[in-house]
Structure 1
């Protein structure tokens, strides 16, 4: 709470000013405040367990920790006792959100909720299947992430009227495959016209097609159209469905051959021999329905086809491979929306829920459709908010539609949500109205003032919004709440690395040159240089082992040139700091996970790998080319091979993966994304970790990297105000001191 001076009115004795911080105030008067709050807003769950639900939890093969069980009880009370539409589990990274969601589904099953659909990132689909089967006895799990997704949904529709056998059913849908839509192409009839022209006509009635001005459309013009349209005369569709691709040669045999070659230890020659020995139908049925039988195949003499070592590798890999010999062109969300009844899925679990916050994303809209089709929805996230109020608006509207409409947030007459989002920002967020006034001859016959107004958003979420939309539907869980000896220690450190003299001089000259160019461009109201200058100044200190040419994005004029400062065999200061850290950690028998955001055109990972290997360290680089579903296995393979350091972009491992083998995390650069920084920093501090976890952030002294880290810390503080953390000042929940990290960096750069 901010210190406020108090002026005594005339005639009153002077009263001394009371200075007290918000945290101290709550510590002093917390009990009285809590009693008052409980009287005015009775809690949905007050720590008293429901015996029937507790009995279900005790029957699971894996038992949740007491703190996890309380989260399950609280969300179950919200959804079942209060009959709310949705609930949110906002739990810190590593607290076991997957386990809590599975336990909640088991409790809901006991209340008659038969089918649970899980939306998960593609690389976590099989992790969900594994954890469900390890937790719930006799669960039936359908993976909807392969080319046979539509076949499985058709089978589900056919079975809707069958007698229920009592087994709980889970449907795990990868969020990329979830996106709504289908593959289509334009369909029309070409008619010859004078002058050698070819005109587009309706394939049903034959009428020539016209544009909005009444001009005839040529076939070439019609093929460039990007929207589906109908004939204005007969209303026939001028488009048709299409299959997105063709299998090799189109034959079933080639499809089965390709599928078998995806399995470790099986190449084209062996796959051909297996097909010749066992036949297409036999192998296809085993790959689809009974993988264990395929691994234990025997020849005519009763000997196993595969050795024990081969079988072990195959078993681990095939747990993450989906075999399918059908077509997956029709998106599953579209099928569920059109052909399955409302409430077919009783519970929808949305993993990594913050990924669906964007207004126009296909994945976010598809999630909203599934939430509308399900009876209840549970959102799982570790970072509910990224600093801005509209991070929450679309999420809340998709899962709590009824509550949002009650408060007046609904589409306008044209179906647009933009006015409602702006209204939500004004009510609960922070908007800045920036007025620009210019004097001069702005009119033809008289002088006047020209006033322009623009509105920009700023980070912050008001207490009223938290009270109305977050607290009534959200359960918070921190790793420290789990208690006991479940988790080891966690420590974040920052190491400011001094630049070499040549590096510092070149950086100062580059910054001065680009700042002058940026100021001149902004004076002309030209913002095209903004991103270029910021990216160069952030990246150059880590990439100065190669020449840097900065060009204007439009004119392509050279703005600055800096030759390479370090030779191939010369270590940069930050590389030396990383090397020292890795060698020290190896001596303590600890593996290091190193993050670098520069893995594309400015790739630094190859050089880091070479530098570390020259000192005797075993290093692996996880790149985006490793399929998302195979990343967990790929990392386990590297650990089995004795790797000391794993280098990767934090975007590749920011969700779901448990990197328990790497208790030390080195963050070479952070980027701008608050979600990514918070998620990636906790990859190894998770349930199951036995060693103390260290997270080290590196930054060059005097560079934009230090400013970026400071600004990221501010955004994280704002995001934590919606995660159950009490900031030192009550005004931190309305933190108005910045725009996006990029804009704040630019402002500091220009004002320097």
Structure 2
């Protein structure tokens, strides 16, 4: 039925069709069958993440079509004259290949040797030369980029396709993991937009269509649907029409010595909230198929989520609260100046430092300094103890576990957790993004399972697409994840066709900290994302639902706003004179 519906939408002339199918439902197979039903002798272009290229080629050939992997311009040229059915599979990294980058930093001589410094402000950098070469970074002191453009080594395949092949050469473009092309100005988003215009018709595949905010959908829908492009040339108009806004009025009264010297000042502030208007479904339903995993696998085992809020030990809490108060003062001053330059770093420090008790943390800026004095390396804080309890409980039941962590570089926790597991006789495997290539990760995980690994410790973005992790039926989120796309994709890696054991997902967080606030904020986005796809859920993570990520967390840290969840309230230091909030409004009147 899913294939028939997509074929019907494309045959009646829709520029795009959407397959929003939950992880593990077989989107690749359904897309290939849709293409072949649409045109049994057609040629089709697939744009996908690099580690999924072999899978696409393999499954296309299993359905009786020829598959060609495009790696160089000569591969594109060789397509001329080739008859279908043919699938040309292109990695999005090769498609967008343009100017590259290389690290940009200075070196300063010290007693210990040469150390990297920012080329703009001269501040010493907390990264090695190897770390600077691994990923693009910015100076934490002045915000200047620590990288520069490098000339491309060869022509991008996006340009080679448009230069060497006539328009209409491919019957259909298939965008795998389409939500990853939602960025308005990202290289891969612009490449996808160009290919969609060039190909004519597009089939968009995603396990998570909606990221929680209407603005997440705007650029993707603008590129796919002509009516959105014509009616909403800008993002703000689209969000006003289909999103949720919160408008807050603040009224300030100043009274002088006489009646005529009284002054009243009213200001309003509007911001986007998680959620989506049902009106948007009128654009999606005629050209979309929404598919849940139970629709195609009725005998799946149960899937359950639980949130575990922990109290810090007394010494741990005293050290953290001192650090948090100092962070809050810096955030308060930054917000008062209208600056968001430091907020990301402040929020990350506030969220991750509770878990790195053995590590010194210093946040320095002209606005102030926050210092966390490390506790003894032998100290096992409450979350570490609970993690060990969960993993040991699951091990006694013969179940392996995945542990998702955010701190893998500056606040590296992978090695720490591995040592803790080793102390208890638990064999842990650490999967680092820079150690195992994406296309080799599935085989690497299988080898670790054969070698007796009981726990897989990894950043969620390393395994969010293309991996089946049914050998690990227990999933522990050691730290919050901001992205709904990553959260939903990674949480469901274990709950897939072939799973025979109940899947348990555990979210760990410290009570009355930004970790708890972060869970509340991401829960609101997750609930909105699921609602768009027809799943209205209660319980699990969604009971924590509140509002949006970094700015709201920074305001909570600064005491500039009030967040309530699970009985915990972050209060502002000075309450507003009058405040009115609505969950979904476009205009708002303040009653006197």
TM-score tier by shorter-chain length is 0.7 to 0.9
**Paired residues of 1:180 and 1:366 also in contact (CA < 8 A):** no
Q: Aligned match of 1:475 in 265, 289, 294?
A: 289
Name the structure 1 match of 2:584.
Answer: none
* Matching residue of 2:146: none
- Deviation (angstroms), 1:520: 3.6
Task: Please say if residues 96 and 191 of structure 2, whose CA atoms lie closer than 8 Å, have aligned partners that are also in contact.
Answer: yes
Distance 2:180 2:511 in 1: 33
SS of 1:472's partner is helix
Residue 386 of structure 1 corresponds to 211
- 1:532 and 1:404, CA in 2 relative to 1: closer, same or farther beyond 3 A? closer
- Aligned residue number for residue 409 of structure 2: 600
2:75 aligns with 152
Distance 1:575 1:448, change over 3 A: closer
Residue 572 of structure 2 is aligned to residue 747 of structure 1: no
| SS at structure 2 position matched to 1:712 | helix
Deviations 1:76-128 (A, max 9, x none): 11112x22111101111222211211221232233x5x111111111111122
Q: Which residue of 1 aligns with 2:119?
A: none
| Aligned twin of 2:521 | 711
Is the aligned partner of 1:430 residue 2:244? yes
C-alpha displacement at 1:460, in angstroms?
A: 2.4
Hey, what's the Cα distance between the residues in 1 that align with 2:281 and 2:26?
24
How much does 1:743 deviate? 2.2
Evaluate the alpha carbon distance shift between residue 394 and residue 521 of structure 1 in structure 2; reply closer, same or farther with a 3 A threshold: closer
Q: Aligned ranges for residues 248-397 of structure 1 at < 5 Å?
A: 329-397=154-222
Q: Deviations over 1:264-298 (max 9, x none)?
A: xxxxxxxxxxxxxxxxxxxxxxxxxxxxxxxxxxx
Match 1:673 to one of 483, 490, 514: 483
For residue 565 of structure 2, what is the aligned residue in structure 1? none
Q: 2:63 maps to which residue?
A: 136
Structure 1 residue 550: Cα displacement: 2.1
Q: Specify whether residues 448 and 696 from structure 1 end up closer, same or farther in structure 2 by C-alpha distance, changes over 3 A only.
A: closer
| Superposition map of 1:25-174 within 5 A | 70-80=1-11, 82-110=12-40, 112=41, 114-133=42-61, 135-137=62-64, 139-144=65-70, 146=71, 149-157=72-80, 159=81, 164=83, 167-174=84-91
Matched, 1:499 2:323: no
Query: What is residue 404 of structure 1 aligned with on the other side?
Result: 228
Partner of 2:396: 587
Kept after mapping to 2: 8 A contact 1:389/1:428: yes
CA–CA distance in structure 2, aligned partners of residues 334 and 452 of structure 1: 49
2:322 and 2:372 in contact (8 A); partners too: no
- Flag the 1:726–1:591 CA change in 2: closer, same or farther, 3 A: closer
8 Å CA contact 1:86, 1:377 repeated in 2: yes
Q: 1:346 to 1:587 in 2, by over 3 A?
A: same
Residue among 404, 418, 433 paired with 1:609: 418
Taking a change above 3 Å as real, the CA distance of residues 421 and 522 of structure 1, as seen in their structure-2 partners, is closer
Q: Secondary structure at the match of 2:19?
A: strand
The 1:507–1:428 alpha-carbon spacing in structure 2 relative to 1, beyond 3 Å, is same
Is the Cα–Cα contact under 8 Å of residues 521 and 546 in structure 2 kept in the other structure?
no
- Secondary structure in 1 aligned to 2:448? helix
Q: Is the 8 A contact 1:432 1:455 kept in 2?
A: yes
Deviating 4+ runs (over 4 angstroms): 180-184, 242-245, 431-440, 446-455
Q: How far 1:481 moved relative to its partner?
A: 1.9
Task: State how far apart, in whole Å, the 2-side matches of 1:573 and 1:435 are.
Answer: 41
Q: Tell me how far 1:604 sits from its aligned partner.
A: 0.5
**Counterpart secondary structure, 2:13:** coil
CA distance in 2, matches of 1:373, 1:105: 17
Could you tell me how far 1:129 is from its partner in structure 2?
Answer: 2.0
Alignment match of 1:421 (pick from 235, 239, 243):
235
Q: 1:106 to 1:605 in 2, by over 3 A?
A: same
In the superposition, relative to structure 1, how do residues 639 and 715 fare at CA in structure 2: closer, same or farther (>3 Å)? same
Are 2:318 and 1:509 aligned?
no
Return the alpha-carbon distance in structure 1 between the equivalents of residues 536 and 455 of structure 2: 36
- Post-superposition shift, 1:356? 0.6
Q: Indicate the SS of the match to 1:156.
A: coil
Aligned ranges 1:639-658 → 2 under 5 Å: 639-658=449-468
Q: For residue 661 of structure 1, what is the aligned residue in structure 2?
A: 471
Q: 1:491 to 1:105 in 2, by over 3 A?
A: same
* Counterparts of 2:391 and 2:384, CA distance in 1: 10
Give the C-alpha shift of residue 454 in structure 1. Answer: 6.4
- Using the alignment, how far apart are the partners of 1:513 and 1:390 within structure 2? 33
**Within 1, Cα distance between the matches of 2:474 and 2:30?**
27
Root-mean-square deviation (Å): 2.8
Give the count of matched residue pairs.
500
Q: Relative to 1, partners in 2 of residues 1:499 and 1:349: Cα closer, same or farther, differing over 3 Å?
A: same
Match of 2:432 among 619, 623, 642: 623
Check 1:374–1:741 CA distance in 2 against 1; reply closer, same or farther (3 A cut).
Answer: same
Structure 2 unmatched runs, 5+: 102-149, 255-260, 562-570, 572-592
Distance 1:483 1:660, change over 3 A: closer
1:638 maps onto 2:448 in alignment: yes
Conserved? CA contact 1:387–1:715, under 8 Å: yes
Distance 2:74 2:329 in 1: 61
> Contact (CA 8 Å) 2:405, 2:413: kept in 1 or not?
yes
CA distance in 1, matches of 2:440, 2:360: 36
Which piece of structure 1 moves more, 652-661 or 334-343? Answer: 334-343
Residue 433 of structure 2 aligns to a residue whose secondary structure is coil
Distance between the aligned counterparts of 1:528 and 1:439, measured in 2? Answer: 31
Specify the alignment match of 1:563 in structure 2. Answer: 373
Distance 1:392 1:243, change over 3 A: closer
What TM-score results when the alignment is normalised by the length of structure 2?
A: 0.79
Q: Call closer, same or farther: CA 1:181–1:505 in 2, change over 3 Å.
A: closer
- Distance in 1 (alpha carbons) for counterparts of 2:99 and 2:337: 45
- Answer whether contact 1:182 1:330 (CA < 8 A) is retained: no
Check conservation: 1:344, 1:373, Cα contact below 8 A. Answer: no
